[in-house]
Every structure is written in structure tokens, then in C-alpha cells.
Amino acid sequence: MSTPLSAPLDLAFDYTRSLGPVLGRFAAGLRERRIEGVRGADGRVHVPPVEYDPVTAAALTEFVPVSDEGTVLSWSWMAEPLAGQPLTTPFAWALIRLDGADTAMLHAVHVPGPAEMSTGLRVRVRWADEPVGHIRDICYFLPVGAPDGPGTARPPGSAQDGVMVTPIQLHYRHSASPEESRYLRGLAEGKLTGQRCPACGKVYIPPRGACPTDGVPTVDEVELPDTGIVTTFCIVNVPFLGQRIPPPYVAAYILLDGADIAFLHLVLGCDAAQVRMGMRVRAAWKPRDEWWTSLENISHFEPTGEPDAPYESFAHHL
Amino acid sequence: MRDVAVVGFAQAPNVRSTPGTTNGVEMLVPILAQVYEQTGLSNQDIGFWCSGSSDYLAGRAFSFISAIDAIGAFPPIHESHVEMDAAWALYEAWLKIRTGEADTALVYGFGKSSAGQLRRVLALQLDPYTVAPLWPDSVSIAALQARLGLDAGLWSEKDLAAVAARSRADATRNPFAQVSGITEVTELLDAPYLADPLRAHDIAPVTDGAAVIVLAAADRAPEFAERPAVITGIEHRVDTPVLGARDLTRSPSTEAAGRAVGTSGVEIAELHAPFTHQELILRTALGLGDDVRVNPSGGVLTGNPMFAAGLARIGEAATRILTGQASKVLAHATSGPALQQNLVAVLEA
């Protein structure tokens, strides 16, 4: 069996979060290069502040200013920093108890090597050159007395007070299943490949790793024609970000002749108001030199002009 | 309320990476077939289904929906999901049977950790305001926890290496293990630090895998297994997510869960400890004496399929009863950073 298809999948999105009164005040303080903790039910001062007491769950409201200097309680060495971390050169992670606080905060310490790190080391904040009200206003920590190190990238700002933006970027290698891979490779040759469940005989396109009725992989390959019917559809009238076709247009479920499952595609080539359930359609393929391992090779479906399929013939596919 | 028993368990081989999809179907279909064979049940006979997995691991929304093909979800079934280790899915299934809503349940967990960069993906389970934006990776956080214990004299690097050596040696008898072998502690201590003070042997490997457990009401369990493993206690507790507010050298939530289920008389314990020092924390929290055999499977230090590894601990422990090797066992599962959430179960013949 040939290797399943795989490709990089890069995700990026910004979390935009409301901070509320406790974290909002903490973030606002950072913008002014101040650090405030909150006093817990047991009298301990929590930094960063917590909204509710970790033991009693009481809402906490008493803010306590603390120092931007503190003591390393524990540390580990980050020999090869990962994307997004506070420093791009090797650094230490540390649990740091700021003077005036009783709990520790997690952050980075900028020192040349692990030999310069120790439990009990006194450290101070290296503030961002342009604080915006974000935890990244603290670039990192430095040993007390050490000269300021390099500034880091400007933390993400936000358009309003009490809101914090955090960009997230993740990288994956996405793999298609063996069945999906055969289907996608078929598309690159202009073929529509379904697969049949060995237990119930249903033909799925795209083929599935397992039949949803029987839980067994679909195996027998079935080449399907590029003709079928519209089972159900909607007329898209609403413009949205990334839209490629001017509305109104029709998104429809197409049931290929011989298949037991419909898939979503476009119906173009006629007035949207003329599209109906049971309408016979045929694939409009893009020019051959644009084909690749994608259903995008079919530009859309268009009416064949044949008589409609009777409702009873597709009612159980709705 | 009725007792509940484990009557079947199967797991996929623990491997560094599979060519399969992130929806787990390729790993799940064969092991589902195994538990049907073990129990004589078919998918039509299962009263409730529950799974554990993570969208962040898969890099797409509602990733567990595609896995449902593997269990044959048509005609419609009673199905649920937790975005945690599947041990918590087992807890949900246990409740369903306890309350009489189902007689049987099938629980599964799966994770393709190799699709992304696991220790970085796991940063997203941290506090999203003050911690996650720094992207501290899971290995570094565990290293901070390990050093606290080293500095306090609770364990030494040699103690940690001894846990690793024992786990790897035990895993030589586990055909599903990813890492195994006979090693000397001194040899392990010669290895360089990966995240000072942790070395590679202190850290569970990145693993793709899946696990399945079948549960049945105790009064019906003898229909499906000769020697069912009855769950005589199961509890889960959680510690604050604020890492700096916890004494990271202890696990109060494990302690509380262990106290609630009662750990005396336990012969074998399967502990979900992705880092060597965490096994020591858990042993102490559960009050396990030297007479308790810990992780005869090799534990997750020899294979750690995310979101299935905790369920597999329950399966491994139950297997000791199902096969007649023990009469009272303990299983522990963890979820979240630095042993934040913990589940403890005791099973008896």
C-alpha cells in the first residue's frame, strides 16, 4: 500500500480575552511597570494575583503592591528555546517569589548558562521598552545587579483596557487515512473513488477509515461517475470573509450515482432559484493542468437537463 | 447503587509515531475488535460510549467526532466525550452504570502526539493570562517540580534514575512498550541533561497510542469475563491551577482521592507518572509501602499515549485481576500540568 498523504498544517489565531477586575488591574499595573498581588483568605499574597482563593474559593479583592525584585525558588534550563518563549537564546525557567509576595510566578531568567543559575538567586524584572498591559511587559528576569539585557519583541497590545490579546501559533503534520489518500490521489487523475463497506455494502465518498454503521474500514474501491443529484441545498445570500463567489449562489449536497453518501459542493450554471431537490447535475471540471489531490479539481456541478430523480429515490439520504 | 467492573481491556502498540490520522480510527478499529472478542459483546450490545482525546493534539476542532466512525455510531448511540485523559471518560461511564442508565459501557482514549510538538502544545493547558503566553513547555515545568524536591532532599538524581531503570526493565516484558531495556543507574546518570535537572530517562517519551476498556454492571459482569475486576473505589480531585501557589513536591489531590478510596491491602499499583520524580510524589501521596509492586507494565515512562495513558493504567491494573495475578490493585491517572488533576481507582476480584 502506498504511503498515506500528509502535509504541514499551520494554525494561527489570536485569543482576545477580557481580564475582569483582578487580572485587569494586574495588567494595567504592568503597563506602568508596577506589580500588584492579591491577599488570599489565609493572608498569603498571591503574585500573579488570583481571582479566587486557591483553598477557600473566596473572591479576593485586597491588592498588595510587591517589588519587581525577588528570589528564585526553583529553575530549569531551556537549552533550545521553543517558538514563542520569552528568549530566543538559551535561558532558565524559574519559579520566582517577588519580595512582598508569598507565592511564586513562572517566568524566564536571562543568564549565560546553567552555571549562573541557582536556587536562591536574586533576580529583577527586565521591563519591556513599551509596556502595553500584558504579562509579556515583563521581558524576563535578570540577576540583581546585572546590566539590562536586550529588549524582546513588543508584547501584543489591545485596543481597549481590560482586554489582552495572545497570539497562538501551532504547527502540525496532518495525515490523511489510507482510504482518503487513495481518494485524493484519484482526484489528481480526474477519478472519483469511493469505497464500499465490506459489512453493509454502502459506498462512501470520500471513503472513510471506518464505516459509521459497522466500525470496519471501507476497503473495496468503487469508481463513481461524475453525475448525480442534489439531495438538499441552500442559497447563500450572505457575504463573508474569504468568500470566492459573489452571492447569491447555491451550496448543495450532491449524491453521486451509485454512492450512499452525499457531499457538499456548489451548483452553478443556472439561476439559484431554479435549483431543486432531485435535480440531475454533472461535475464541471477545471482544466486538467490545474488538477491536484483535491476536490477543488471540480469547479462546481451544473444541471444536466435530465428529468429530476423522484423524491422516494433519495429520501433516505436526507 | 450497583457496582461496576472492568471486563475487557486492549491497547494499541505505544509508538513514537504512526502514519495514521489524528482521529485515531486506524489505532482504534483493531483494539475495539479485540475487546469485542474478549467479552463476546458486539457494538450493538454497548449501552454507553465515552472517549477522551484533545483537539489541541489533533490541531482541529471537534476531532473526536471522526473517531466515532470506529465505534459504528449509526443507528444512533449514547455517546459522550471528555477533553481529558480517558480515565475521566471511564469515570463518566462508571456513573452511567452506577445510576442504572446502562448495563455496559465502552471507554476509549487516543492521541497522536507526534502530529504536533507535544511539549509546546501542552503549554495551552496553562493559565491563559499569566502563564500560557510565555509558552513554558511541559518538560520545563516538570523540571521545576523536580528541582524543588532535589533541593528539599526529598529525592536525588539517583533515586530518579532508579525509577527509570526499574520501569525500563519491567517494560521488557510488555510487548506494547515503546522504550525498554536493562540499564544501570550509574549509566543513566552519565547522560546529559535535557532540561536540567531532568535527563531523557526522567521524561516519558512522545507516544502515539490508544486504549479501550469495557465496563459492565457487576451483576452482569460474569457474562463477559471469568474474573471481572470490580471497581470498589474511584475518586478524582483537583489542585489549584496556580503553579506557584502549590507545594509542587506534594500531590494533595492524589492524597485526598487515595484517602477516599482506601489503599490498604493493595498488591499492585499502576501510577500515571510521566516524569520519574512524579512516581515518588504519587507513592508518598497514596501511602504505598515497599511491598506494593509499582508499574509492573513499565508505566508511562516506557510509553505515554496522551489521553489514553491514564485509561491504560486502569486497564493494566485490571488485567492483573482479570488474569488472576492479583486480587486487589490500584490505578492512578493524571491530567493537566505537574500532576494537577488526579484520579485513583481500586479494583478487586
pLDDT tens-place string over residues A276-287: 999 999 999 999
Which residues on chain A are in Cβ contact (under 8 Å) with B243? 95, 104, 106
Half-sphere exposure of B72 (CA within 13 A, CB side): 19
Distance from C-alpha of B231 to C-alpha of B218, rounded to nearest angstrom: 9
Task: Say if residue B32 is exposed, middle or buried (CB neighbours under 10 Å; 0-12, 13-18, 19+).
Answer: buried
Q: Which of residues 226-285 of A touch B (CB under 8 A)?
A: none
Contact B242 A78 (CB under 8 A): no
Best residue of A74, A134, A171 to probe chain B, by most B CBs closer than 10 Å: A74
Of B43, B140, B248, the CB nearest to A93: B140
Band of pLDDT at residue B75, cut at 50, 70 and 90: confident
Give the pLDDT score at A92: 98
Of B117, B137, B244, the CB nearest to A95: B244
Q: Which amino acid, B3?
A: D
Complex ipTM: 0.95
Alpha carbon B251 to its chain centroid, in Å, reads 16
Contact B69 A107 (CB under 8 A): no
3-state SS class at A20: helix
Cα of B265 to nearest chain A Cα, Å = 31
Contact B129 A48 (CB under 8 A): yes
Whether the CB of A171 is below 8 Å from some CB of chain B: the reply is yes
CA of B30: which chain A residue's CA is closest? A216
Q: What residue has cell string 482479570?
A: B322
Q: Which amino acid, A135?
A: I
Whether the CB of A110 is below 8 Å from some CB of chain B: the reply is no
Count of C-beta atoms within a 10 Å radius of residue B203: 22
Which of A1-15, A105-119, B76-90, B91-105 is the least confident region? A1-15
Distance from C-alpha of A286 to C-alpha of A301, rounded to nearest angstrom: 11
Instruction: Encode A75-99: b = buried (16+ Cβ within 10 Å), e = exposed.
Output: bbbbeebbebbbbeeebbbbbbbbe
Contact B19 A6 (CB under 8 A): yes
Sequence-ordered list of residues with C-beta below 8 angstroms from that of B312, at least 6 positions apart, any chain: B11, B109, B209, B211, B305
Using alpha carbons, list the distances in angstroms from residue A127 to A122, A138, B252: 16, 5, 36
Count of C-beta atoms within a 10 Å radius of residue B73: 18
Res A1 pLDDT > 70: no
DSSP A5: P
**Closest by CA position to B14, among listed B206, B200, B170, B182:** B206
What does pLDDT average to over chain A? 95
pLDDT tens-place string over residues A202-242: 999 999 889 988 888 898 999 999 999 999 999 999 999 88
3-state SS class at A193: strand
Cα of B276 to nearest chain A Cα, Å = 16
Whether the CB of A54 is below 8 Å from some CB of chain B: the reply is yes
Contact A93 B143 (CB under 8 A): yes
Give the pLDDT score at A205: 96
Using alpha carbons, list the distances in angstroms from residue A103 to A19, A61, A120, A133, A239: 21, 17, 15, 21, 51
* Residues linked to residue A9 through DSSP beta bridges, in sequence order: A172
H helices of chain A, where?
20-31, 178-188
pLDDT tens-place string over residues A121-153: 999 999 999 999 999 999 999 999 999 999 998
Res A163 pLDDT > 90: yes
Sequence-ordered list of residues with C-beta below 8 angstroms from that of A303, at least 6 positions apart, any chain: A267, A269, A270, A274, A279, A280, A281
3-state SS class at A225: coil
Give the pLDDT score at A159: 77
Where on the phi/psi map is residue B231: left (φ > 0), alpha (ψ -120 to 50), or beta?
beta
Q: What is the longest distance spanned by two Cα atoms in chain A?
A: 86
Task: Say if residue A54 is exposed, middle or buried (CB neighbours under 10 Å; 0-12, 13-18, 19+).
Answer: buried
CB pairs under 8 A between A and B: 183
Contact B130 A54 (CB under 8 A): no
Res B295 pLDDT > 90: yes
Distance from C-alpha of A188 to C-alpha of A38, rounded to nearest angstrom: 61
**Residues A257-268, mean pLDDT to the nearest whole number:** 96
Band of pLDDT at residue B129, cut at 50, 70 and 90: very high
Distance from C-alpha of A68 to C-alpha of A123, rounded to nearest angstrom: 9
The H or E element containing residue A252 is strand A249-256
Distance from C-alpha of B297 to C-alpha of A111, rounded to nearest angstrom: 41
Contact B147 A76 (CB under 8 A): yes
Contact B59 A82 (CB under 8 A): no
Contact B147 A74 (CB under 8 A): yes
DSSP B115: G
Of B68, B115, B131, the CB nearest to A172: B115
H helices of B204-308, where?
252-261, 276-286
Q: Which amino acid, A16?
A: T
Q: With contact defined as beta carbons under 8 Å apart, do B113 and A85 qualify? A: no
Distance from C-alpha of B292 to C-alpha of B261, rounded to nearest angstrom: 16
Which residues on chain A are in Cβ contact (under 8 Å) with B128? 15, 17, 166
**Closest by CA position to B199, among listed B245, B159, B154:** B159
**Residues A45-71, mean pLDDT to the nearest whole number:** 95
Which residues on chain A are in Cβ contact (under 8 Å) with B196? 76-77, 79, 114
**Closest by CA position to B145, among listed B273, B300, B297, B292:** B273
Res B122 pLDDT > 70: yes
Please give the model's pTM, rounded to 2 decimal places. 0.95
Q: What is the CA radius of gyration of chain B?
A: 19
Best residue of A111, A135, A172, A195 to probe chain B, by most B CBs closer than 10 Å: A172
Best residue of B16, B21, B45, B194 to probe chain A, by most A CBs closer than 10 Å: B21
Res B121 pLDDT > 90: yes
Which residues on chain B are in Cβ contact (under 8 Å) with A98? none
Whether the CB of A2 is below 8 Å from some CB of chain B: the reply is no
3-state SS class at A34: coil
Q: Are strands A138-143 and A122-127 parallel, antiparallel or unpaired?
A: antiparallel
Distance from C-alpha of A137 to C-alpha of B54, rounded to nearest angstrom: 31
Contact B59 A216 (CB under 8 A): no
Contact B244 A136 (CB under 8 A): no
Whether the CB of A210 is below 8 Å from some CB of chain B: the reply is yes
Contact B141 A106 (CB under 8 A): yes
3-state SS class at B345: strand
Q: What is the longest distance spanned by two Cα atoms in chain B?
A: 58
Contact A46 B72 (CB under 8 A): no
pLDDT tens-place string over residues A51-61: 999 889 999 99
The set of cell numbers assigned to A270 is 443556472
Which residues on chain B are in Cβ contact (under 8 Å) with A170? 56, 59, 116, 120-121
Cα of B268 to nearest chain A Cα, Å = 32
